Amino acid sequence: MKLMEKIWSKAKEDKKKIVLAEGEEERTLQACEKIIKEGIANLILVGNEKVIKEKASKLGVSLNGAEIVDPETSDKLKAYADAFYELRKKKGITPEKADKIVRDPIYFATMMVKLGDADGLVSGAVHTTGDLLRPGLQIVKTAPGTSVVSSTFIMEVPNCEYGDNGVLLFADCAVNPCPDSDQLASIAISTAETAKNLCGMDPKVAMLSFSTKGSAKHELVDKVRNAVEIAKKAKPDLSLDGELQLDASIVEKVASLKAPGSEVAGKANVLVFPDLQAGNIGYKLVQRFAKADAIGPVCQGFAKPINDLSRGCNSDDIVNVVAVTAVQAQAQK
């Protein structure tokens, strides 16, 4: 069974309520029909009811079973505005500004998640990553014990012996441009949790660099070495090692030469890149050259799950991201 099928099955076992902030968007409506038909999640669509229903009828899509909520007419608007004001008054938000901001569908949907009216949020078919994540960072914030929200791509590489038969998690490829050592350690720990909770994997985390175990000396290498120390101290039972080059991380023969005795080298299934440039370029290289499936970016580290879509996504991608979000919500019980 492919990984996404397993995630679908898991989502169906304990259905969660996921809010889709771009409820008027066509691919979202097509996905909505499929999600309900498959029983992957209960859905809330945010938007104008008339517009949503007209679009659905034009597309020939059934929305039976989905709840539609319009921020402008919702009886929760005032409660959300008041709660948002309380959360952000120290940042200069006034009650008037709060009332205006929470009418924005993404802010409104984020407040639904914050106040427990939804278990998770998916958006981003139209909005940028920043448009979606900023409200989440301001309102939902990080899970206890986690210093940063980050992201991972689940890579499924066909005909590949590396990782778990070609399945590897790459992080961070979408959120933190220049993580410091503390943040890198937090990204590594969050990604190991995603590997375990979402993918059912036994994580073996490689902290990537252009150096293996001191083969090069540079401040960029020191950043990764420090992150390894911090992560090991925080999670002594986690299988994590570094700094490691990519080949030493995944190829047993190279590992035996460059990092003998490492419990991770040669067997890594979680690859933590030193910064966003490396991570974003790295996942796209594997996706294009190896024709790999790249599931994500899966956001991790939020107190409640929020996930971003690519603006180039299709309706099947949205179904998959909703399934991922629903399974993340199950883990947060």
Between 174 and 251, CB nearer to ligand ACO = 174
Write the DSSP assignment of 190-258 as a string of letters.
Answer: HHHHHHHHTT----EEEEE-SSSTTSS--HHHHHHHHHHHHHHHH-TTSEEEEEE-HHHHH-HHHHHHH
Give the residue, chosen from 41, 93, 169, 175, that forms a contact with ligand ACO under the rule CB under 6 A: 175
Between 66 and 324, CB nearer to ligand ACO = 324
Could you tell me the smallest distance in angstroms from the CB atom of residue 132 to ligand ACO? Answer: 8
Could you tell me the smallest distance in angstroms from the CB atom of residue 160 to ligand ACO? Answer: 21
Between 63 and 295, CB nearer to ligand ACO = 295
Could you tell me the smallest distance in angstroms from the CB atom of residue 138 to ligand ACO? Answer: 5
Tell me how far apart the alpha carbons of residues 144 and 273 are, in angstroms, rounded to a whole number: 24
Contacts (CB under 6 A) with ligand ACO, residues 89-108: 91
Which residue stretch of 103-111, 132-140, 248-256, 311-319 sits at the interface with ligand ACO (rule: CB under 6 A)? 132-140
Could you tell me the smallest distance in angstroms from the CB atom of residue 117 to ligand ACO? Answer: 22
With CB under 6 A as the rule, give the number of residues binding ligand ACO.
16
Give the residue, chosen from 20, 113, 118, 149, that forms a contact with ligand ACO under the rule CB under 6 A: 149
Taking residue 9's Cβ as centre, other Cβ atoms within 10 Å add up to 13
Residue 137 makes contact with ligand ACO by CB under 6 A: yes
Query: Tokens 């490829």 map to which residue?
Result: 173
Q: Is the peptide bond before 263 cis (omega within 30 degrees of 0)?
A: no
Q: Which residue is nearest to ligand ACO (CB)?
A: 137
| Coil vs helix vs strand at 21 | coil
Strand pairing partners for 240?
Answer: 205
Could you tell me the smallest distance in angstroms from the CB atom of residue 180 to ligand ACO? Answer: 12
3-class SS letters over 123-140: ECCCCCHHHHHHHHHHHC
Nearest to 122 by CA among 186, 202, 27: 27
Nearest to 151 by CA among 252, 304, 296: 296
Which residue stretch of 105-113, 141-149, 203-211, 260-268 sits at the interface with ligand ACO (rule: CB under 6 A)? 141-149
Give the strands of the sheet with 42-46, arranged side by side.
67-69, 42-46, 17-20, 120-123, 306-308
Between 61 and 87, CB nearer to ligand ACO = 87
Contact footprint for ligand ACO (CB under 6 A): 91, 129-130, 133-134, 137-138, 142, 148-149, 174-177, 280, 297
